[in-house]
Amino acid sequence: MIAVLGLVVGVVAGLLVRPEVPAVVEPYLPIAVVAALDAVFGGLRAMLDGIFDDKVFVVSFLSNVVVAALIVFLGDKLGVGAQLSTGVVVVLGIRIFSNAAAIRRHVFRA
């Protein structure tokens, strides 16, 4: 419950504060958000499976974000930033879908 509240408060804060995104971070923010979403779905699924662990969640969340940003950064340096970020989004999307399927089975039994 507290976690859900945290998410809601974060969204509200982001909408209210509307900070200017620094130019350095700008290309990585969307990918980082997608990576974090992946981690969240993974965590939710683990919770439904009864195997949730906060430490694992924190590590996976942060490492997902960092690795995704790193890949995009590397891609930019190699001149294939657009393609690599597309690739990252595709992979993360697939994972999110599979996690969502598992969650769906738990919640709806279907």
- Residues lying near other proteins in the complex (CB under 8 A) are found at 1-15, 18-19, 21, 26-27, 29-30, 32-33, 36-37, 39-40, 42-43, 45-61, 63-64, 76, 79, 81-82, 85, 95, 98-99, 102-103, 105-107, 109-110
CB 9 within 8 Å of CB 64 = no
Minimum distance of other proteins from residue 81's CB (angstroms)? 6
Minimum distance of other proteins from residue 47's CB (angstroms)? 6
- Which residue lies nearer to other proteins by CB, 61 or 87? 61
Distance, in Å, from the CA atom of 109 to the CA atom of 1, rounded to the nearest integer, reads 22
Which value, in Å, is the radius of gyration of the alpha carbons in the chain?
16
- Which residue lies nearer to other proteins by CB, 11 or 90? 11
Q: Residue 40's closest CA among 25, 20, 60? A: 60
Minimum distance of other proteins from residue 86's CB (angstroms)? 11
List C-alpha distances in Å: 99 to 38, 56, 58, 64: 8, 16, 17, 15
